[in-house]
Amino acid sequence: MEKQQPLTDIHQSEHFEEYLQVNGFAASSRTRIKNALRLFALWCDAQNILVTEVSYNDVMAYVSTCRQRGNKAASIQKKVIELNHYYTFLLSIHEVQDNPCSNIEIKGVKRKTLYETFTTEELETMYHAFASMTLRTGGLGNNIAHKRNKIIVGLMIWQGLRTQELSEMKVSDVQMQQGKINVQGTLRTEGRELKLEAFQLYDMMDYINETRKLILALSGKQTDRLFISIGGGENFGNITQRILEGVRSQDKRVKEIKQIRASVITNWLRVHNIRKVQQMAGHRYVSSTESYQANNMDDLKEDVNRYHPMN
C-alpha cells in the first residue's frame, strides 16, 4: 500500500480547524489536538495504515506503542480523547463509518465519578415536585427553610451551581435589575455571571426582602451571605442534606446532589458548544467539561441500569 501523506497535508485539515473553532475549542486546545494528530499520523504512516481506515485494534496498537515509549496512562488517555475529536469530525462529514476511538478506556487512569443523569424535563419536574411538597411538620421555621431551599434547588437546576458556590454566595451577588447572578470563583471553579429565569427573579426578590430577614431574626445572625441556616451553626452541609432528603422523597433515583449538576452540564452540552458550557459551568479546563459529554454520560447510564437495576 502506498504510504499516505502526513496529517498536516490531508485535505480535511483546514475543515477540521474550522470544526474545532465552531465547537468552541480555544487556540491552545486546537494546537494540542492537532499536534497529537500529527504524531498519530506519523505512526500510521510507518504502519502503512490510512488514517481514514484506522480500526479499534489499530488505536489499541498505537496505545501499546505509547506505553512502550514510557507515556503515562493519563497522558495516553488524553491522546485518545484528542484522536476522538478528529474521528467525530470525520464521522460528521461522512469520511468514516465509525469512530475507532469510542469505548476505549485506558487502564490505570482513575475514572472520575459520574452519575446517572436526568433530562431537562426530568429536572424541571424534580424542581416543581420539591417546591410543592407538603412538609411533614409545620411551624414558621420549617416553612421559611423550605422557601430558602426552593431557591437553592432552582439555582442547582437552572444554573448548575455547586454547593460550595451556593454556600459562599453574598446578597450583593444577585443583580436584580440585570436579571443575573454573579458566581464567585473558588479553588476549583472560575467566576462567572449567569442569567436567572423570570420566576427565579420573583422568588429571589421575595426571599431577600422577606424570608431571609426572618431567618436572620430567628437565628440572631449578622451576615452578608445569601443563604443562612436557621440554627446557630454555619454548616451549609446541613442545608444540602435536608435538600437531598426532600428531593429523594420525590425521586428515589437521586443518590447525591452532584447528580443534579452532572445532569445540567450534560444537557447544556447537547445544545451549546463545549467552550460556552465550560464558561457556564465554571470549569478551568476544557477537559473537565469533556468528561460530561453526552456519549460518555449515556454509556455510564447504561452501566448504571445494567449493574444497578431499579427494583
Alpha-carbon distances of 148 from 141, 172, 239, rounded to whole Å: 11, 17, 9
Q: Assess if residue 157 is contained within a domain.
A: yes
Last residue of a domain, one of 47, 73, 92: 92
**144 and 183 inside one domain:** yes
To which residue does cell 411551624 refer? 139
**82 and 124 inside one domain:** no
**167 and 236 inside one domain:** yes
Q: Assess if residue 103 is contained within a domain.
A: no
Q: The CATH number of the domain where 188 resides is what?
A: 1.10.443.10
**82 and 168 inside one domain:** no
**176 and 247 inside one domain:** yes
Domain count along the chain = 2
Please give the Cα distance from 69 to 53 (Å, whole number): 24
Instruction: Compute the C-alpha angle 77/81/86, nearest 5°.
Output: 145
**152 and 293 inside one domain:** yes
The structure's pTM equals: 0.64
Last residue of a domain, one of 39, 74, 92: 92
Last residue of a domain, one of 92, 111, 141: 92
Alpha-carbon distances of 29 from 23, 129, 248, 295, rounded to whole Å: 11, 41, 39, 20
Q: The CATH number of the domain where 39 resides is what?
A: 1.10.150
pLDDT in 10s for each residue of the chain, 311 residues? 444 444 444 445 678 888 888 777 878 888 899 999 999 999 999 999 988 889 888 999 999 999 999 988 888 888 998 898 898 888 888 888 888 887 676 766 555 555 688 999 999 999 999 998 866 555 667 889 999 999 999 999 999 999 889 989 999 999 999 999 999 987 668 899 999 999 999 999 999 999 999 999 988 889 999 999 887 777 788 898 889 999 999 899 998 898 999 999 999 999 999 889 999 999 987 878 887 875 444 444 444 444 334 33
**147 and 255 inside one domain:** yes
**126 and 86 inside one domain:** no
**82 and 126 inside one domain:** no
Per-residue pLDDT at 73: 86
Pairing type for strands 174-175 and 180-183 reads antiparallel
Q: Buried (b) or exposed (e) across 112-128, using 16+ Cβ within 10 A? A: eebbbbbebeebeebbe
**16 and 126 inside one domain:** no
Alpha-carbon distances of 267 from 83, 91, 159, 232, 276, rounded to whole Å: 24, 22, 12, 38, 13
Domain that holds residue 38: 7-92
Q: Assess if residue 115 is contained within a domain.
A: no
Return the bridge partners of 195, or none.
180
To which residue does cell 449567569 refer? 194
**217 and 254 inside one domain:** yes
